[in-house]
Structure 1
Amino acid sequence: MNILLISEYILMGALAIFAIATIRITTRKKIAMALVGLSGLSIAIATMLILVQHVYNLGFCKDIATALIFLGPVGTIAFARVLRG
């Protein structure tokens, strides 16, 4: 194993811990904290998908990560507009 592959696995572990922390933030009672948590979770999952694509040579992970990054803020804005009334 080379050092790059080891560092990618360490980054995947760190992103998994970050994803768990953002799920914890999402379950708070305030709506703003839920939006922050979901935004962080989408970033963590998109980064993890890019790493999986790089390590295992899967072509579809990059497309899913790109869609997740673009649609995350759109959903947040739509939800905020619904809450405003």
Structure 2
Amino acid sequence: MDILFFSKYFVLIALIIMMFAALRIGAYKSTSMGLIGSSVVVVAFAVALLIAGEIWNAEFFRDISLALLIFGFVGTVAFAIAMGGDE
């Protein structure tokens, strides 16, 4: 086993910890903190899917993570505009 194999698992564990921290950030009462927390969870989950696809040699993980990244960004921008982005 090479060190790259173990580093993939280390990054997966770090991303899971980052997701828990982002859930804590998203639990605040302000809307902006909720948006930041949910965006971090989506990005961390998409990167975790990419790494899992590399570990288990599955190609469809890339498509799912790309869709998550695109729709997460579009949803965040749409919500910000709907809540009053004119200011």
Q: TM-score scaled to structure 2, two decimals? A: 0.92
For the residues of structure 2 that align with 1:24 and 1:4, how far apart are their CA atoms?
30
Unaligned runs of 5+ in 2: none
Offset, 1:70: 1.0
Offset, 1:74: 0.5
For the residues of structure 2 that align with 1:73 and 1:59, how far apart are their CA atoms?
23
Q: Percent identity?
A: 39
Q: Write the mapping of 1:38-57 to structure 2, written as runs, cut at 5 A.
A: 38-57=38-57
For the residues of structure 2 that align with 1:5 and 1:32, how far apart are their CA atoms?
37
Offset, 1:71: 1.1
Offset, 1:31: 0.3
| Number of residue pairs the alignment of both structures matches | 85
Aligned CA RMSD, in angstroms, stands at 1.2
- Aligned residue in 1 for 2:66: 66
